Structure 1
Amino acid sequence: MQSVQAPIGLFYGSSTCYTEMAAEKIRQCIGPQWVDLHNVAEADITLAEDYDFLLFGIPTWDYGELQEDWENIWDELAALDLNGKAVALFGLGDQEGYPQWFQDALGYLHAQLVACGARPLGYWPAQDYAFEQSKGLTPDGSQFVGLALDEENASDLSEARIQHWCAQVMREFGLREEA
């Protein structure tokens, strides 16, 4: 069992390695000393309870489905006590191939974590994306409930989005001053 060492726990699930690569980029951007990386296929999800600051990464599969590693631990996730924990999410999706389901899993994960008492942060503007529908949007549709990445169609934008989002999240966590 892995122990908690950094202030932030980053938990992700990844089948094609794109979410894993995004998780590693986020860890590098924030600083490795700040972030413990946990693949939910291997790590015990209850470790999330040991962190005050959490990042979760999830890809949307096919027609708005959960990635298999997240699906396998969904019931355990629902049982977590994340009361008052600051949580920011990032998701991967394909806005052109699956425009009716873009970032749906991000929305499912957000709802699940809020139900566990988490305090969500890290919302991301929905402009500059081209999709039809998403369960990953705030009720007014102006923001995603986390950073939305599309490595299929907009990989050239990912690096800048990750850097901007990481700075935003660290400010919202109260771990870095306003720039």
Structure 2
Amino acid sequence: MSVNVIFGSDGGNTKAVASRIAKHIQGRAIDIKAASVADFESPSLLILGSPTYGAGDLQTDWEAHLDKLTTAKLVGKKVALFGTGDQVSYPDCFVDAMGVLYDLVVGQGASVVGFTETAGYDFTGSRAERDGQFVGLALDQDSQSSKTEKRIKEWVSQLI
């Protein structure tokens, strides 16, 4: 199975998570700034990740390069999502960027896999929550970094 993990990151947390996910699934981690449309279209599994900024916004590199995602042909493409956020400081928009990416890829006909439970998190709102589950892997590197490795392993095994 070919896997591309495309991410945006400013502070390095999301880049580090993308690298860990890519290592666990034998995929390639690609910064959105360096990604091409073909990087979205070519793998059998596409994994997208973004931190949430401000009041629920996509990371700035995602914003600047969103056309690469929106012009990619994703009909029937298997896509998984992950997001990093801070549920303590931003409990009302925890991992919202993951929800933004979800809406975009579903709108383009992709099939999203890798939903996860919201249990174990303490937040009040998230655009990444659908029917009581997150649309992908939610990670809080600020207050729950000790749980990250276990969550990544369990999530990746679900994707394979």
Q: TM bucket by the smaller chain?
A: over 0.9
After TM superposition, list the pairs within 5 Å mapping 1:20-99 onto structure 2: 20-31=15-26, 35-99=27-91
Q: Distance in 2 between matches of 1:28 and 1:46?
A: 21
Q: Distance in 2 between matches of 1:52 and 1:28?
A: 16
Q: Distance in 2 between matches of 1:40 and 1:12?
A: 5
After TM superposition, list the pairs within 5 Å mapping 1:1-179 onto structure 2: 7-31=2-26, 35-138=27-130, 140=131, 142-170=132-160
TM-score by length of 1: 0.86
Shift, 1:26, TM fit:
0.8
Q: Gaps spanning 5+ residues in structure 2: where? A: none
Q: Distance in 1 between matches of 2:38 and 2:13?
A: 24
What secondary structure does 1:91 align onto? strand
Q: Percent of pairs identical after alignment?
A: 38
Answer whether contact 1:108 1:136 (CA < 8 A) is retained.
yes
Shift, 1:149, TM fit:
0.2
TM-score by length of 2: 0.95
Aligned residues: 160
CA RMSD of aligned residues (A): 1.2
Q: Gaps spanning 5+ residues in structure 1: where? A: 1-5, 171-179
Q: 1:68 to 1:45 in 2, by over 3 A?
A: farther
Which amino acid is 1:52 matched to?
S
